[in-house]
């Protein structure tokens, strides 16, 4: 079961993107090596193979710790970015409301026909943006103050549309953090089985058997991994 979860994690393109292609390859290679040594040790029972298997699993643990640190750092940045995005979004919405009120006020004061049409266009744009239609653009036909205001409204709408796209990206990063949480939860069960088997082996071996030290190292390594999972 642990092999299935580890393979799924290593082959996940989103995980590889988060930790980097080089780290993903190193994780895959070290996992393969550790798995091969562990299988050889269980089949042959040779002490030297067991020591190399332990070293390989320890190296794998260090790679996982670095990957975990990278994922947590990205998740923290995502949370900070999300908070800043919410504050900016509120400011932009308030600015849109103020702009809409200003355009209505100008529509009342500027009654001449050559002003009425641009003001109506700005008012309609403000309504569309307030309804969430950020793709709407004001038709700017003049270079005066109203034309400049229309350009600024268009820029504001483009900014809000970009912020929405960034929010989608932020949600994707948050889902990565949720994936890591579920993964850590699901790894605990097979780790408990590994630790239990190692403890049972220690109890069955004579007190001077060299394999007891290997089994003790397995128990300690699993305990360290469980501490890392709790932190994660």
The average confidence (pLDDT) of the chain is: 78
Express each pLDDT in 66-101 by its tens digit. 777 776 777 777 778 878 888 888 888 888 888 888
Query: Are residues 125 and 136 in contact, defined by beta-carbon separation less than 8 angstroms?
Result: yes
How confident is residue 57, by pLDDT bands cut at 50, 70 and 90? confident
Give the per-residue pLDDT at 2: 42
pTM: 0.31
pLDDT band at 11 (very low <50, low <70, confident <90, very high): low
Query: 146, 118 in Cβ contact below 8 A?
Result: yes
Q: What are phi and psi of 106, to 5 degrees?
A: -65, -35
């Amino acid at each position: 079961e642990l092999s299935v979860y580890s393979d799924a994690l290593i082959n996940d393109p989103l995980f590889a993107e988060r930790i980097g292609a080089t780290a993903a390859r190193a994780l895959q290679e070290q996992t393969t090596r550790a798995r091969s040594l562990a299988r050889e040790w269980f089949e042959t029972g040779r002490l030297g193979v067991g020591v190399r298997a332990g070293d390989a699993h320890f190296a794998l643990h260090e790679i996982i710790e670095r990957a975990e640190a990278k994922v947590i750092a990205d998740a923290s940045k995502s949370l900070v970015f999300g908070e800043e995005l919410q504050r900016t979004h509120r400011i932009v919405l308030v600015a849109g409301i103020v702009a809409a009120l200003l355009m209505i006020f100008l529509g009342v004061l500027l009654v001449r026909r050559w002003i009425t049409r641009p003001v109506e266009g700005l008012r309609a744009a403000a309504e569309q943006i307030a309804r969430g239609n950020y793709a709407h653009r004001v038709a700017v036909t003049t270079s005066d103050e109203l034309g400049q205001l229309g350009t600024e409204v268009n820029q504001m709408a483009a900014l809000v549309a970009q912020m929405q796209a960034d929010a989608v990206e932020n949600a994707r990063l948050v889902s990565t953090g949720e994936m890591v949480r579920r993964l850590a939860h699901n790894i605990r069960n097979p780790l408990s089985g590994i630790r239990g088997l190692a403890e049972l082996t220690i109890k069955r071996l004579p007190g001077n058997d060299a394999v007891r030290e290997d089994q003790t190292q397995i128990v300690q390594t699993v305990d360290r991994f469980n501490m890392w999972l709790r932190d994660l």
